[in-house]
Structure 1
Amino acid sequence: MDLLDIMLDRLGRGESLAHVTILHQDGSTPRTAGARMLVFADGSIAGTIGGGQVEAMAMDMARASLRTGWAARASFDLTGGRDQGMDMICGGRLEALIEPIIDPAKLLPVLQAAQTCRQDRRPFTLLTMLRASEDENGVEIARCLRAPEHAGQPALRQGSCAGEQELEGVLREAGREPWNLVRQPGADWLIEHYRPRETVYLFGGGHVAQKIAHVAHIAGFRIAVLDDRPEFASRELFPQVELLLAPPSFANVFGLPELAREPMTDTSYVVIVTRGHRHDADILEQTLRTAAGYIGMIGSRAKREATYRKLGEKGFGPHDFARVHCPIGLDIGAQTPEEIGVSVVAEMILHRAGGPRRG
């Protein structure tokens, strides 16, 4: 389970917890803005904000917040100073929000709406208002969620932060970055834009696909597997899979009802690792007609050039082929299926992070 699922599970059982979030950082720090951790009443945790002394101090503050009920903003200096007893010299500074969740009545509807959006693969924005409390001993927090119209579903609003006009102004200032802290007179606003989790569509269920699925799951990708051989499209081979299909053939795969409900977007990662060149070429042709954000095909450079020549006869050109990562994966000298799995997922992580692509 990820942190949202854990929060909903624990709060649904009537437990209290503290939510620790890095609001922003300057310079080098173990984790960056957006890293979060849950601290429970028994002292256990889920997630991390980087470990070490910072995390230990944040855990102490989180446990204290569960006793007092006060939220707070805490600053940590990692430049080598000893005023906080810090033994880390990363060279940066960070600020974290320490939030006790003792009475979740106001928060649960927002979290449940966020979970629904994620299950529907629907984009949404979470707005968190942070304002100093009147007695200056803590922070007042209010949250709301906004989701645009999506796939025939009406726009969604949940929670209350401020008036609509003020929210629109904050959103304009925040822009489209996934994470932004907007400072305004009287309050700061944390703006989080969420897109559907990236899905890796593995075409082929052989040994390499199995290792790619395992590593991709660890890296946080959602996994879908398609193979025209039912014995290879199995949950025994792919326990991490969220979508598993065994069509009679690879013809018109994106027309399958299950994939038609999940149109290819920039969060779609197509990995072509079937048992034969002909199937790979067929799926690549179909994929190039979609808006998939990442396309990777296993094979040698000779196979790539032969495949491109055949597709060129069907009207595809250099602009189309520039979208394809082939040979797939970062060049780390991978030989075994396990090593290939690491190299492929490393390339997908680089793509997800917006890094440079290979030629």
Structure 2
Amino acid sequence: MLDIAGQLHRWMEEGRAFAVGTVVSVGGSAPRGPGAALAVDSEGTAIGSVSGGCVEGAVYELCERALQDGRAVREQFGYSDEDAFAVGLTCGGVIDMMITPVPADSPQRAVLQAALSAAAGGEASALARVVHGPEELLGRALLVRADGTHEGGLGGHPELDRIAAAEARALLDAGRTGTVGLSEDGSHCPGGLTLLVETSVPPPRMIVFGAVDFAAALVRAGKFLGHHVTVCDARPVFATEARFPEADEVVVDWPHRYLRRTATDGRTVVCVLTHEARFDIPLLTEALRMPFAFVGAMGSRRTHEDRLRRLREAGLSEHELDRLRSPIGLDLGARTPEETALSIAAEVIAARRGGTGLPLTGGAEPIHRDLSAPPAPLVAGLSGSDG
């Protein structure tokens, strides 16, 4: 439910009663992952999505029923074959749903409102809810913050909240949503209780180095993908908010110096668009030694070869150089800044999700990959620039 936190938080503040259907687990080629949610209020208004359309109608009806009878229920949807009237996933996947009513007088309302407020405000937090176990515990919630403090409670044994908070904190540190099996006394014996732990973390950063014309288009693409986007350039005449109004921040500084001092993590995306050695080499020397999700640099193949030579001279190992995606972007035949931004965004997605960058037509690989599996190698990409 945290994926629709902003809208649900407004419903909370308005005192609306609602029911929310949340994806607990998926199998096969399910369109959306655990944590995806659809909510229905007492007026019949719906927000969110759990399947991209396949089972939305059935989940809507389950939410309406939960609002009427006040009972939390589990439901599983599988393959609907060729029957046009069957409710299920035509893609062949399976999704396990939890339907939870949240009436205006729900004892869980306070902790859910706190969790939704934290997520809507960009605070790192995790919400653990009982999705399998004794009926009296279903829907019980525990909010866990990044500093380890927690509020709410799951009921039952006093140790249960402490152990559940530790498990939720571990998932929060990893930025993952998933399920945890515990016994009712809090021990790690599966079969008693299943908790769905939804995590909410600040958006990943995309740092675009080089206040060039391609950067403006990439800023828009990065924002569309949900990144917090920063543009950095050492030249104040180019690095201005007027030129990049959609960026979250525009920084005037030497790129390598800024990278050293700014806060980053393993989800950070670094895109180097300057293709000037005086900026690129010190910056990439730093970036390729940091645990970023993606480091890419624009330029022609000739520029790339010269860049590799200079980086080797700067002391980078072949293992470190293998992390560099250059020329940046997938081979889409891009020419314009917008097309080039799309090719870069596509490579960022492929790197994150383990995609191949190949057309789906004629392929045999699953469309939706198991994110716990190692990512597949990417096809070598081309940038849309020849600079």
Shared fold (TM-score, shorter chain, > 0.5): yes
Does residue 1:252 correspond to 2:257, yes or no? yes
Counterparts of 2:133 and 2:256, CA distance in 1: 60
Q: Which amino acid aligns with 1:107?
A: L
Contact 2:180/2:194, CA 8 A, preserved across alignment:
yes
Does residue 1:265 correspond to 2:259, yes or no? no
Does residue 1:205 correspond to 2:205, yes or no? no
Q: Which amino acid aligns with 2:341?
A: G
Q: 1:241 to 1:310 in 2, by over 3 A?
A: same
Contact 1:29/1:78, CA 8 A, preserved across alignment:
no
Post-superposition offset of 1:84: 7.2
Counterparts of 2:298 and 2:270, CA distance in 1: 11
Post-superposition offset of 1:344: 0.9
Counterparts of 1:100 and 1:239, CA distance in 2: 42
The DSSP-based 3-state class of the residue aligned with 1:28 is coil
**TM-score of the superposition, structure 1-length normalised?**
0.81
* Gapped regions of structure 2 (runs ≥ 5): 182-189, 355-374, 381-387
Contact 2:19/2:67, CA 8 A, preserved across alignment:
yes
Post-superposition offset of 1:81: 7.5
CA deviation profile, 1:117-156 (whole Å, cap 9, x unmatched): x44xx4x443211356659xxx73111133454xxxxx32
Q: Which amino acid aligns with 2:304?
A: R
Query: Within 5 A, what are the aligned runs for 1:181-260?
Result: 181-183=179-181, 184-230=190-236, 232-247=238-253, 249-250=254-255, 252-256=257-261, 259=262
Partner of residue 356, structure 1: 376
Does residue 1:77 correspond to 2:78, yes or no? yes
Counterparts of 2:315 and 2:281, CA distance in 1: 14
Q: CA RMSD in A?
A: 3.3
Q: Which amino acid aligns with 2:9?
A: L
Contact 1:35/1:48, CA 8 A, preserved across alignment:
yes
Contact 1:212/1:341, CA 8 A, preserved across alignment:
yes
Counterparts of 1:294 and 1:306, CA distance in 2: 21
Post-superposition offset of 1:266: 0.9
Does residue 1:37 correspond to 2:48, yes or no? no
Does residue 1:166 correspond to 2:160, yes or no? yes
Post-superposition offset of 1:282: 3.2
The DSSP-based 3-state class of the residue aligned with 1:190 is strand
Q: 1:285 to 1:26 in 2, by over 3 A?
A: closer
Counterparts of 2:22 and 2:110, CA distance in 1: 20
Query: Within 5 A, what are the aligned runs for 1:284-323?
Result: 284-323=284-323
Counterparts of 1:112 and 1:203, CA distance in 2: 33
Partner of residue 110, structure 2: 105
Counterparts of 2:331 and 2:84, CA distance in 1: 45
Identical columns (%): 26
Q: 1:237 to 1:47 in 2, by over 3 A?
A: farther
Partner of residue 333, structure 1: 333
Counterparts of 1:43 and 1:230, CA distance in 2: 52
Does residue 1:55 correspond to 2:40, yes or no? no
Which stretch has the larger CA shift, 173-182 or 70-79? 173-182
Partner of residue 371, structure 2: none
The DSSP-based 3-state class of the residue aligned with 2:299 is coil
Q: Which amino acid aligns with 2:300?
A: S
CA deviation profile, 1:287-330 (whole Å, cap 9, x unmatched): 23433332111112221221222222222221221121111112
Post-superposition offset of 1:175: 7.8
Q: 1:349 to 1:12 in 2, by over 3 A?
A: same
Contact 1:330/1:344, CA 8 A, preserved across alignment:
yes
Counterparts of 1:330 and 1:216, CA distance in 2: 16
The DSSP-based 3-state class of the residue aligned with 1:19 is strand
Q: 1:74 to 1:232 in 2, by over 3 A?
A: farther
Which stretch has the larger CA shift, 78-87 or 90-99? 78-87
Counterparts of 1:164 and 1:324, CA distance in 2: 50
Q: 1:322 to 1:232 in 2, by over 3 A?
A: same
Post-superposition offset of 1:55: 0.6
Post-superposition offset of 1:277: 4.1
**TM-score of the superposition, structure 2-length normalised?**
0.76
Post-superposition offset of 1:173: 11
Q: Which amino acid aligns with 1:334?
A: A
Q: Which amino acid aligns with 2:257?
A: N
Q: Which amino acid aligns with 1:246?
A: V
Partner of residue 152, structure 1: none
Q: Which amino acid aligns with 2:338?
A: E
Counterparts of 1:307 and 1:42, CA distance in 2: 60
Counterparts of 2:333 and 2:5, CA distance in 1: 37
Which stretch has the larger CA shift, 15-24 or 340-349? 15-24
The DSSP-based 3-state class of the residue aligned with 1:252 is helix
Contact 1:204/1:273, CA 8 A, preserved across alignment:
yes
Partner of residue 156, structure 1: 149
CA deviation profile, 1:218-240 (whole Å, cap 9, x unmatched): 22222122233446444454444
Partner of residue 141, structure 1: 139
Partner of residue 324, structure 1: 324
Contact 1:110/1:158, CA 8 A, preserved across alignment:
no
* Gapped regions of structure 1 (runs ≥ 5): 150-154
Q: 1:108 to 1:269 in 2, by over 3 A?
A: same
Which stretch has the larger CA shift, 77-86 or 286-295? 77-86
CA deviation profile, 1:229-263 (whole Å, cap 9, x unmatched): 4464444544443233233x44612355xx2xx1x
The DSSP-based 3-state class of the residue aligned with 2:138 is strand
Count of residues in Structure 1 that have an aligned counterpart in Structure 2 = 341
